[in-house]
Amino acid sequence: MQPLHAPFPATRFRRTRKSPALRALVAETTLAPSDFIWPVFVRDGEDVAEPIASMPGVNRLSVDRVVAAAREAHSLGIPAICLFPYTDPALKTADCAEAWNPENLSNRATRAIKEAVPDIAVMTDVALDPYNIDGHDGFVEDGVIVNDRTVEALVKQTLSQARAGADIIGPSDMMDGRIGAMRAALEAEGFDTVCILSYAAKYASAFYGPFRDAVGASGALKGDKTTYQMNPANGDEALRLVARDLSEGADMVMVKPGMAYLDICARVKEAFGAPTFAYQVSGEYAMLSGAAERGWLDGERVMMESLMAFRRAGCDGILTYFAPAAAKLLNG
Ligand code: PBG
C-alpha cells in the first residue's frame, strides 16, 4: 500500500492547523442549525414550563409554550421540532386509545404549531408507551409484547398524527412490519407527502432513563424493552433493519442512541446513502449537562464537539435537546 503522506518534513500536519483561517479551510465537516431536529416535551395547561430534574435546562411545555418554542426554533434556522407528550396517568389504559384520539396532546400541539409557524416541520412519535398502563411501546398480553396487534394500533396513531398535520412520522416502537403498514395506510388516506423517519436501529439502552422520567413512563414500565429493541452487541443487524425499513417505505432512518453508536451511524450512511439521523438521547444530554453544571466539563465545548462528531460519522442530522443552544452559538 502507498503511504498516505510524504515523510517529515515534506509533510507537517501542523501547517494547516496554524491559524483559524487555515483550520477553517481544511475542515472536512460542517455543522449548522439546519442539521438539527429539536425534541420537546409537551404537557397540559397554559403558560407552563415545568423543569425535568434529570435534564437540566429542559422543560415540559404547555401547548402555547411549545408554539413559542417552534417560533424560536424557526427563527434560529432549526428546520424541525419533534413532539413527545407527557400524558396524564389517568389517560393511560390497556387499549391505549388516547394514542389515536384526535384531541390528544400531541395532535393539539401539532395543529397549534402548524397554524402559528407553518414553515417548521413537525415530527411526531409513534409508539404506545406514553398511553400504555404497562409503559411498553406495544400491547402486553400474558407478559409478552405482541407485534401484529400493536402494528394495527400504530397505524391508527399514525393516521391521527397525519390528520393533525404532522410532516414527519417517527415510529420509535421497533415492532416488525410497522413501516410497510404505516406507509400503505398513509397512501390509502391521501397522505402521500408525509415522511417517515424510522427509528430503524434503536437499541435497548440505559441512556433513555431521563426521557422516561420526562414523559412519565418510568414508574409505569414493567420489565425492560429487550424483546423488541436491539441488543447493543449487534451491528450487522442494524444494517438489515435499515434495509428492511427503507424497502418498506421509510424516507429517512435513525440510529439511537447516538454517541455510543457512531460506528453504526457510519456503517448505515456508507451502506445506503439514505438520509441518516442520530438521536443524541436524554441520557447523553444528562451526562454532558450534568457534568457541565458541576464545572467538570466545559458545557459549550462538549456540546459542539459531540454534535460535530455525529456529522463526521456521516449523519445528515441530529435529534438533540441541545438544538436551540447549539443553534444560538452557531448563529453567533
Ligand atoms: C419510546 C421512546 C423513547 C425515546 C424516544 N421514544 C424511550 C424508550 O424507548 O423507552 C428516548 C429518547 C431519549 O432518551 O431522549 N417510544
**CA-based nearest residue to 38, from 3, 5, 84:** 84
**CA-based nearest residue to 46, from 70, 73, 66:** 66
Among 128, 208, 256, 285, the mutation site with the greatest number of ligand 1 atoms within 8 A of its Cβ is: 208
pLDDT tens digits, 113-161: 999 999 999 999 999 999 999 899 999 999 999 999 999 999 999 999 9
Active site residue 222: no
Q: Residue 266: what pLDDT?
A: 98
Q: Residue 226: what pLDDT?
A: 97
Which residues in the chain come in under a pLDDT of 70? Answer: 1
Active site residue 328: no
Cα 131 to ligand 1 centroid, rounded to whole Å: 13
Q: Residue 219: what pLDDT?
A: 72
3.90.190.20, 3.20.20.70, 3.40.50.300, 3.40.109.10: CATH of 30-331? 3.20.20.70
Q: Residue 1: what pLDDT?
A: 63
Q: Which residues line ligand 1 (CB under 6 A)?
A: 125, 127, 129, 137, 172, 208, 211-212, 225, 281-282
As given in the structure block, the three cell numbers for residue 38 are 429539536
**pTM value?**
0.97
User: For the chain, how many residues are written?
Assistant: 332
Residue 39 CA: nearest ligand 1 atom is 15
Taking CA atoms only, the protein residue closest to ligand 1 atom 14 is 208
For the chain, the domains span: 30-331
3-state secondary structure of 14: helix
By the 10 Å C-beta count (0-12 exposed, 13-18 middle, 19+ buried), 291 is classed as middle
| Catalytic-role residue among 92, 114, 256, 269 | 256
Instruction: Tell me the C-alpha distance between 178 and 181, whole Å.
Output: 5
Taking CA atoms only, the protein residue closest to ligand 1 atom 5 is 172
**What ipTM, to 2 d.p.?**
0.97
Cell 432549526 belongs to 78
DSSP 274-332: S-EEEEE-HHHHHHHHHHHHTTSS-HHHHHHHHHHHHHHTT-SEEEETTHHHHHHHHH-
